[in-house]
């Protein structure tokens, strides 16, 4: 069993995202560390285990990178004091959740490489399926690794390609040709900021501008947080190079549009609702999913409510389509975060009840439609249904704004192996009985492309048909982003 499956998921039936990346280059020479900090703050939902920032001065010597990283949330790791020490007009930042492998400080990003051509600071979001082979290729030629993450494999290959390339962006492109899987990269060299997105476009990446500075970020919400205007999305398969002379683009790795495969869970769950992913509003997508559920799985009820936060927009969509009133049934404890210590088995406290409370006055004597974004293992859904019943709900009808999970994900989303998925080898009726609902309805598969406004998407976790052939052995426990 790999380390991925040893994690304590008690009371945690939510998917975890991979990471968030943020890069900035200020052409006027202003320090960028504090802006990167606020950008990471806006991307905190994408990873809460570790974070880091690396900056350098483009006017200084080539090996002048200052980096700081640690375990915890952005506001736990960084202080005003350590940010003030980070002088530099170019830099990258990262927030991480380990979809697999060790959650340790060594594995925190950005990674900083000092090599013969200078320095590279790299932040990566995604998951490679050929990391094992690429790592072994480097190890057999003498490379010594400091981490267990595939991001270091990427950094080494970029550094190696740089020795035979005219520019750092050419080295990034040549290294990207070897990578199989999901990657959105932000790389700072001594005098360039480079962004790259895998040819399938699994993970998002966009470009922003503020005054005389350019920004690369996982989501548009991070641009708005720091007062930057959205310029455009980095295209699937594109390598962009940002210098004071402007933005250069290389799309030689791009695929035909119909072969692109954006992760549909950016729209369903991962991205913040105020973000746009490849031109599609995440909030509108979730409203749309709720409307589809109302069309395809109608039921008579008195109140529609969402499991916070990701179920709320879909619940509103269900209400708008069905005419059944939308209301708040749950109060979420905002202060339960990464540091939450789960109650022991013998404790009377339920980890779900610590995070969520039910408004009895809102549900007592009513037929409730409860909207959530997914059911993974089912360990939380049954408790939430029971909480509604304990609060006096007459009926509880569960609607899920995604299809049933039937297969694992190899591209950076924490969807476990088949045996841990409640929908594997079970009918909808069997799942309904397991979670104690009066009825259960999932989003229909054909609705997914409508949610994403016709964009090409990856549906592998629902269908088992992946854009890339998955690895023969599940290496997610050893190689991750």
State the catalytic residue, choosing from 19, 51, 206, 458: 19
**Considering only CA atoms, which of 465, 22, 27 is closest in space to residue 244?**
27
Q: What's the 3-state SS for the chain? A: CCHHHHCCCCCCCCCCCCEEEEEEEECCCCCCHHHHHHHHHHCHHHCCCEEEEEEECCCCCCCCCEEEEEECCHHHHCCHHHHHCCCCCEEEEEEECCCCCCCCHHHCCCEEEEECCEEEEEEEEEEECCHHHHHHHHHCCCCCCCCCEHHHHHHHHHHHHHCCCCCHHHHHHHHHCCCCEEEEEEEECCCCEEEEECCCCCCCCEEEEECCEEEEECCHHHHHHCCCEEEEECCCCCEEEEECCEEEEECCCCCCHHHCCEECHHHHHHCCCCCEECCEEHHHHHHHHHHHHHHHCCCCCCEEEECCCCCHHHHHHHHHHHCCCECCCEEECCCCCCCCCCCCCCCCCCHHHHHEEECHHHHCCCEEEEEECCCCCCCCHHHHHHHHHHCCCCEEEEEECCCCCCCCCCCCCCCCCHHHCCCCCCCHHHHHHHHCCCEEEECCCCHHHHHCCCCCEECHHHHCCCCCCCCCCCCCCCCEC
Active site residue 461: no
Active site residues: 19
């Amino acid at each position: 069993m790999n380390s991925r499956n040893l994690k304590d998921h008690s009371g945690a039936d939510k998917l975890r995202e991979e990471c968030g990346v943020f890069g900035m280059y200020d052409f006027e020479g202003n320090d960028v560390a504090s802006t990167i900090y606020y950008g990471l703050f806006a991307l905190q939902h994408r990873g809460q285990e570790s974070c880091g920032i690396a900056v350098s001065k483009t006017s200084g010597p080539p090996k002048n990178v200052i980096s700081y990283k640690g375990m915890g949330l952005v506001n736990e790791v960084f202080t005003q004091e350590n940010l003030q020490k980070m002088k530099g007009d170019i830099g990258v930042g990262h927030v991480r959740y380990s979809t697999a492998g060790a959650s340790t400080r060594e594995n925190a990003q950005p990674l900083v490489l000092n090599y013969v051509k200078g320095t590279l600071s790299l932040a990566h979001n995604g998951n490679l399926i050929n990391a094992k082979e690429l790592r072994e290729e480097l190890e057999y030629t003498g490379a010594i690794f400091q981490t267990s993450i595939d991001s270091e494999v990427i950094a080494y290959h970029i550094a190696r390609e740089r020795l035979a390339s005219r520019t750092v962006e050419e080295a990034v492109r040549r290294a990207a040709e070897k990578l199989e899987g999901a990657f959105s990269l932000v790389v700072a060299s001594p005098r360039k900021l480079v962004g790259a997105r895998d040819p399938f476009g699994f993970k998002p990446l966009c470009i922003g501008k503020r005054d005389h500075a350019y920004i690369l970020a996982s989501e548009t919400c991070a641009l708005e947080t720091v007062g930057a205007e959205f310029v455009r999305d980095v295209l699937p398969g594109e390598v962009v190079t940002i210098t004071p002379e402007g933005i250069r683009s290389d799309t030689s790795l791009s695929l035909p549009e119909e072969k692109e495969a954006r992760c549909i869970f950016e729209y369903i769950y991962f991205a913040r609702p105020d973000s746009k992913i490849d031109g599609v509003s995440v909030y509108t997508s979730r409203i749309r999913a709720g409307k589809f559920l109302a069309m395809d799985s109608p039921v008579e009820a008195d109140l529609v409510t969402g499991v916070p936060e990701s179920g709320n927009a879909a619940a509103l969509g269900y209400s708008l389509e069905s005419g059944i009133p939308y209301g708040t049934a749950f109060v979420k404890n905002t202060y339960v975060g990464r540091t939450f210590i789960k109650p022991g088995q013998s404790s009377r406290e339920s980890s779900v009840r610590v995070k969520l409370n039910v408004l009895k006055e809102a549900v007592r004597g009513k037929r409730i439609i409860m909207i959530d974004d997914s059911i993974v293992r089912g360990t939380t859904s049954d408790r939430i249904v029971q909480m509604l019943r304990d609060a006096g709900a007459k009926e509880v009808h569960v609607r899920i704004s995604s299809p049933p999970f039937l297969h694992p994900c190899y591209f950076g989303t924490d969807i476990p192996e088949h045996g841990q998925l409640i929908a594997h080898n079970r009918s909808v009726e069997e799942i309904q009985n397991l979670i104690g609902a009066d009825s259960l309805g999932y989003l229909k598969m054909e609705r997914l492309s409508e949610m994403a406004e016709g964009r090409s998407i990856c549906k592998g976790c629902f269908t088992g048909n992946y854009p890339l052939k998955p690895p023969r052995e599940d290496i997610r426990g050893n190689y991750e982003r």
